[in-house]
Every structure is written in C-alpha cells, then in structure tokens.
Structure 1
Amino acid sequence: MTKLTLGSHPYLLGFEQLERLLERNAKSGNEGYPPFNIEQTSDHSYRITLAVAGFAEQDLSITVEDRQLVIRGRQGDDGPDRVFLHRGIAARQFQRSFVLADGVEVGDAIMENGLLHIDLTRAQPETVVQTIKIKRG
C-alpha cells in the first residue's frame, strides 16, 4: 500500500513546502507549556495569547523563521541569596512554534497581566483571472 502524501496528491501541485512545514511543526517539541489561546479577532486577524506569568519582556523573544512564528522564554537565575522552602512555580524555559500561512503577517506583541498577546493579520489576496493562449504544436 502506497502512502499518499500532500505533495504527491495529483490535484495538489506545488504543496511540498507545506508538507515539510507540517512535519517540522509536528517535531518541534511543542508540549503543553505554556498554555495558549488562539482567537479570531476579525475576518482577517487573529490573536495568540500565551500565559507567561513570571516572565519579563526581556526573558521572551519572538521571531519569524521560515514562515514559522517562534516564541521562546528563558528566565534568568534567581541568585544565591534566595532560599526556597517550597518551589511550586516553575521557572523553566520554553519554545512554542506556530506555522504561518502565506500572507499572514505578525503585528504587535503586548504583555499584559502575565499574558503575552501576539496579533496576526492575513492579507486578502486579489482574485486573478489569467487566460492562457493555446498554441499549435
């Protein structure tokens, strides 16, 4: 039995890059931390919200790498002066990735009450009708 992949489907031409993006995102190590929401804020915009309590703006980085939005968090060391009797608040690093479709642009990133909001907009493509002339061979 032959495995039918997105790139090998006869009606989907030129989607090999999309298949590679999906495979890469599946392997990116996105576990459940930090938790996040994705909401549609209008017909052409979205907002990703990550719960990053305990992280300061300088502990976070947001990059777009090959159509992939990558949010990383790394907290600094507490220092030798702090002695914890109980430590229930995790201070671990994380990386969360989201694959962006063509035309999706990353807008503002806003930190508010321990939540990191990242706004995305999707440009509306123009409808293009192209007529192809038939040549005699």
Structure 2
Amino acid sequence: MRTFDLAPLYRSTVGFDRLFSMLDGFESAPGYPPYNIERTGENDYRITVAVAGFGQDDLSIETKENTLTIKGAKQAKEEQRGQVLHQGIAARAFERVFQLADHVVVKSAQLENGLLHVDLVREIPEAKKPRQIPIGNGQAKPEVIDTKVAA
C-alpha cells in the first residue's frame, strides 16, 4: 500500500480546514519567510507572514483565480552605514503561494511591526447556501390556471 504525503497541501491552502481537520499530525515545514494560518471566525481566516526588514514598497500581494501570491523583494541600498559582522535578518527575495478554496477572497492586508496580516473571508453566494424547504400538510390544493386552447 502506498502512502502519500499531504503536508504540501496543508502548508499552502486556506479554507479547506474542514477537510484537513479529519486528518491529524499536521506539522508545518520550515521555510522563508515563516507564516501562520489562523481561523478567526466561522468564515474568516488570517495569514500572518513575518517580513522583518521589508516595507510596504517592498511587498506585493496578488490574487488570481484561487491563488494568493505574496512577494517580497528588497530595493537596492544606496548607503552602507558600517561593516556588517553578522547578518541574521534575512533580506532575500521571497514568494509564497497559497491555494484558496472556492469563494475565499482577500478582505484586507496590513503591515504592522514586521508582520504582514492578510485577512480572508469565505463569501458563499446565496444560491450555494443551504435553504429550508417547508413541508406541506397535504391540505392545500394546487391552483388550476385557466387556459383556453385556440381552435
């Protein structure tokens, strides 16, 4: 019997958590930059990406079909203040791609204290939402519409 590693799906999908909650043993893999995916409400999600050293001009967020792409690229420094003895803060370019479930859209994005917060919401159309069908008691008769056939 073959086993399949579903870890890549866990790391890059938003809105499929009901399906993945059936599976246990979720463990995110390390990568750059680190990020969290949170469920903040019944249909609300938040992706938080640690982007220390990046400014608003260095980041871009793009959605296309069911894909959310977050890119970061530092602009070239013109001025060097001194010699760097140890560089532990990574400033390399990155691209993170997240697969979004149907009807999940980006609501907003904020950059705060070196963390990029992307808020998402699942907006299910009325036609796709479940609806209650009333059950009749059999006493109401269907109406007959008079129609005359032209001879």
TM more than 0.5: yes
Aligned to 1:112: 112
Aligned to 1:45: 44
Counterpart Cα distance in 2 of 1:83 and 1:106: 41
**TM-score when normalising by structure 2:** 0.61
For 1:35-114, list aligned pairs within 5 A: 35-79=34-78, 81-86=80-85, 87-114=87-114
What is the Cα deviation at residue 88 of structure 1?
2.7
Equivalences, count: 104
* Native 8 Å contact 2:48 2:115 kept in 1: yes
Over alpha carbons, which structure has the higher Rg? 2
Counterpart Cα distance in 1 of 2:60 and 2:93: 11
What is the Cα deviation at residue 78 of structure 1?
1.7
Counterpart Cα distance in 1 of 2:113 and 2:92: 19
Gaps of 5+ in 2: 3-8, 13-28, 133-151
Gaps of 5+ in 1: 4-21, 130-137
What is the Cα deviation at residue 76 of structure 1?
0.9
Q: Letter of the 2:129 partner, please give it.
A: E
Q: Letter of the 1:69 partner, please give it.
A: L
Q: Letter of the 1:43 partner, please give it.
A: E
What is the Cα deviation at residue 67 of structure 1?
1.1
Change in CA separation of 1:88 and 1:96 when aligned onto 2, cut-off 3 Å: same
Counterpart Cα distance in 1 of 2:94 and 2:30: 9
Counterpart Cα distance in 1 of 2:111 and 2:93: 18
For 1:1-12, list aligned pairs within 5 A: none
Q: Letter of the 1:84 partner, please give it.
A: Q
What is the Cα deviation at residue 117 of structure 1?
0.2
The CA RMSD measured in Å over matched residues stands at 2.4
**TM-score when normalising by structure 1:** 0.67
Q: Letter of the 2:73 partner, please give it.
A: R
